[in-house]
Amino acid sequence: MSEETVLVVGGGIAGLALARALRARDLPVEVAERSAGGTGGLAINLPGNAVAAFAALGLGDRLARFGRPIARREYRSARGKLLFAVDEDEFWGAEARPRCVRRSDLLTLLSDGLDVKVRQPVEVASLDGLEVTFSGGERETYGFVAGADGVRSTVRAALFGATSVSASLLSAASWRFMAPNPGVDCWTVWSGAGGAALLIPVDDTEVYVYASAVRGGPVDADPSWLHTTFGGYPAPVRAVLDSVRDRPDALLHSPIEEIRLPSWSSGRRVLIGDAAHATAPVWAQGAALAIEDALVLADLLAEGDWDTVGARFEQHRRPRVTHVQAATDRFARAAGLPIWLRDRLLTIIGTRTYEETYAPLRDPAWRTEAW
Ligand SMILES: Cc1cc2nc3c(=O)[nH]c(=O)nc-3n(C[C@H](O)[C@H](O)[C@H](O)COP(=O)(O)OP(=O)(O)OC[C@H]3O[C@@H](n4cnc5c(N)ncnc54)[C@H](O)[C@@H]3O)c2cc1C
């Protein structure tokens, strides 16, 4: 392969977004993705800055055909009391209205019409400088390598050795599933001492359900944890749990892991998305940060001088990622307070916390000329 080409390792949200952004700037790019297909039917919540990043990729209109807009958020106690609510429509505006979308639709959207060579299912087995060895034993040298290969990144290991992956402060794992909508019309979370259950409508008939602990520590991989933890929660939560009682295959249990690194690059090799900064989905910033990373990196690569791109990328992206990590930690610590205190606090500072977290993210951080 030509040494003018960028290799993107990983064809998830970050990798596909980067491949699209590079093609839009006429830069040669290849993608290597180890899995054979999409990621099933679970969904993802896209706050306004994620929606705006899709628009910057040229996919705004097409994104609007998938999932459902989210006009309002409600934070409720385990007994159903409304602690605070946010008018998301007003906060983000019509151009960046949050959405909940199936992950498989998102990956289809990002890969649809993408005119690049995708090696799939092919794993990047190792990296020596810019020489890449693929799972079949083939070796190629590229001009630049972007590691968009997620929490367990091979590229990160090649750059920095074994770096630690830490469990989220909020919850070491989560359960996710789809269920018939029990009558919820907006993003709604019920949170108590044992755990938080979040329901988001993904279309007219189904909701996406996310359930986790709130004070750190393990979440049992036996589905009975869900019924024990949330059995006394309000009717909508009990209804979605009932709908999966006899469908354990519909349930996805997965760890919530974080990556905090002092550096994201080495020479002409850069980490983006979860490989660089996986963060617990407290503020649902995973997709947004991944696509913003892709837009910034593509702009910098298009400017030239690939030897300095890594340092410039970090300079652009570090403040925004640090802001999200700090907001995530603050929320996780508040969630661990005694429930009577936490609920009282949320009624007072909930709306302000939402605004302080998201207001800086409304700025279009992917425009490098803005910095
Ligand atoms: C429980 C949970 C809920 C979440 N909810 C939300 C949410 O509502 N909103 C949101 O924005 N974010 C959410 N996130 C975070 C979001 O899912 C991630 O931030 C996002 O998927 C990151 O995308 P990525 O492309 O960086 O990584 P990934 O999605 O992990 O993609 C990495 C890709 O690289 C491939 N790969 C890995 N290693 C190799 C290799 N060696 N060679 C080739 N290919 C390789 C993998 O197969 C994969 O396709 C959530 C995360 C969790 C755990």
Looking at residue 1, its pLDDT comes to 55
pLDDT over threshold 50, residue 371: no
- CB 34 less than 6 A from any atom of ligand 1: yes
33-47, 91-105, 193-207: segment of lowest average pLDDT: 33-47
Res 3: pLDDT: 76
Q: Say how many Å lie between the CA of residue 203 and the centre of ligand 1.
A: 23
Percent of the chain predicted with pLDDT > 90: 90
3-state secondary structure of 245: coil
Determine the residue of 16, 34, 171 to mutate for testing ligand 1's pocket, defined as the one with the most ligand atoms within 8 A of the Cβ atom.
34
Residue with the smallest CA separation from ligand 1 atom 23 is: 13
Tens of pLDDT, residues 41-61: 599 999 999 999 999 999 999
Q: Which residue has the higher pLDDT, 271 or 217?
A: 271
| Predicted pLDDT at 235 | 98
In the reported structure, the alpha carbon of residue 278 is separated from the centroid of ligand 1 by a whole-number distance in angstroms of 8
| Residue 346 exposure: Cα atoms within 13 Å on the Cβ side | 28
Q: From the CB of 14, is ligand 1 less than 6 Å away?
A: yes
Give yes or no for residue 155 CB within 6 A of ligand 1.
no
pLDDT in tens, 163-193: 889 988 899 999 999 999 999 999 999 999 9
Point out the ligand 1 atom lying closest to the alpha carbon of residue 16: 25
CA distance 269 to 132: 11
**Any atom of ligand 1 within 6 Å of the Cβ of 103:** no
Whole-number Å distance between alpha carbons of 368 and 371: 6
Q: Is 148 in the pocket of ligand 1 (CB under 6 A)?
A: yes
By C-alpha distance, which of 323, 272, 303 is closest to 368? 303
Buried b (16+ CB within 10 A) or exposed e, 278-310: bbbbbbbbbbbbbbbbbbbbbbbbeeeebeebb
Whole-number Å distance, alpha carbon 109 to ligand 1 midpoint, is 16
Assessment of whether the complete model's pTM goes beyond 0.85 = yes
Of 30-44, 100-114, 299-313, 338-352, least confident by mean pLDDT is 30-44
| Residue 286 Cα: closest atom of ligand 1 | 19
**What is the mean pLDDT of the segment spanning 147-153?**
97
Contact 9 CB / ligand 1 (< 6 Å): yes
CB 210, CB 238: distance < 8 Å: no
3-state secondary structure of 363: coil
For the Cβ of 43 lying below 6 angstroms from any atom of ligand 1, the answer is no
Task: Say if ligand 1 is within 6 A of residue 52 CB.
Answer: no
> What is the C-alpha R_g of the chain?
20
- Our answer on whether the CB atom of 149 is closer than 6 Å to any ligand 1 atom is yes
- Which amino acid, one-letter code, is at 179? A
164: Cβ contacts below 8 Å, ≥ 6 apart: none
Mean pLDDT of the chain: 94
Per-residue confidence (pLDDT) for residue 370, from 0 to 100 = 45
- Residue 232: per-residue pLDDT: 96
Q: 67: Cβ below 6 Å to ligand 1?
A: no
CA distances from 116 to 54, 112, 132 (A): 19, 11, 18
Statement: residue 368 has pLDDT above 70: no
Q: Which amino acid is at 199?
A: L
Question: Which residue has tokens 């036996």?
Answer: 222
The residue whose CA is least distant from atom 28 of ligand 1 is 150
**Position in ligand 1 atom list of the atom nearest CA 149:** 34
Q: What CATH homologous superfamily does 6-70+95-167+257-336 map to?
A: FAD/NAD(P)-binding domain (3.50.50.60)
**What's the full length of the chain, in residues?**
371
DSSP 136: T
Of 13, 159, 328, the one to substitute when testing ligand 1's pocket (max ligand atoms within 8 A of C-beta) is 13
Contact 268, 143 (CB under 8 A): yes
Q: How far is CA 222 from the centre of its chain?
A: 25
Q: Tell me if 154 CB under 6 Å of ligand 1.
A: yes
Residue bearing the CA closest to ligand 1, atom 1: 174
